[in-house]
Amino acid sequence: MPHWDPNQYLKFGGERTQPAIDLLSRVKLAAPRRIIDLGCGPGNSTALLHGRWPEAEIVGIDSSAAMIAAAQETYPEWTWTVADIAGWTPDRPYDLVYSNAALQWVHDHESLIPVLFSNVAPGGALAIQMPAHFQSPVHRILIEIATHDEWRDLTATAAEAIKVGRPSFYYDLLSPLCSQIDLWETEYIHHLPSHREIVEWMRGTGLRPFLEVLPDEDMKRLFEERFLTALRHAYSLQRDGTLLFPFRRLFAVAYKRE
């Protein structure tokens, strides 16, 4: 798991929060009493949950102490805990188990997803969102650069850091367990001012595992420059100079029987 920088992550706070809004809008629960935000980051998604259900008991957990510290600083009145999603074992179920852009960092979804759903209370829901852009140019370029001879051995583990299955995989996992499942993908078209902004975007998430395993700043700079050069060939600018950056995401909301 990479180390997280809340400030870098929130450079694109609006773009990163929109999928959390879209996920929340599809949750058909009237008044859940207990809610957990798994992988809450700096609290931007948790704030949405509080906004919709201000009377609910809501807890945010994240494996990054830096993210939890940022959340506590912004929202000191709420409950925040440093914890690993893979080892999360609550003392009782939650009416809503919610996770926005976090589960891709936790492996073995075949075991994980049923465990998370088992911690949903009767009549409650599991709501998750993860990136699904792994056939996109930006991801293919990142993996191709990581296989270059000078750092291939160093980056082998980083290339396996993010794991997300296809929609059919999650349907097969959840449909035998739930009363209803809402499953969809959305491709967001982000408007960026330059190719370098894609690098900034990726620094906050998918690029981090690769940079962290490189031994010095010169090698990190070289890796980023090669990444940027390849991005300039892969993404064309619009007539007004804007760069359109498509980013696909996978959503699922599964409801537990009463």
Query: In the chain, where are the structural domains located?
Result: 6-255
- Please tell me the CATH code under which domain 6-255 is placed: 3.40.50.150
198 vs 217: CA distance, rounded Å: 20
Of the candidates 216, 13, 234, which has an alpha carbon nearest to the alpha carbon of residue 142?
234
Per-residue burial over 118-154, b if 16 or more Cβ lie within 10 Å, else e, is ebbbeebbbbbbbbbbbebbbbebbeebbeeeebeee
- Per-residue pLDDT at 35: 98
- Per-residue pLDDT at 208: 86
Q: What are phi and psi of 72, to 5 degrees?
A: -65, -35
130 vs 112: CA distance, rounded Å: 14
- Per-residue pLDDT at 3: 53
The angle formed by the CA atoms of residues 88, 185 and 141, to the nearest 5 degrees, is 85
39 vs 46: CA distance, rounded Å: 10
Q: In the chain, which residues have pLDDT < 70?
A: 1-14
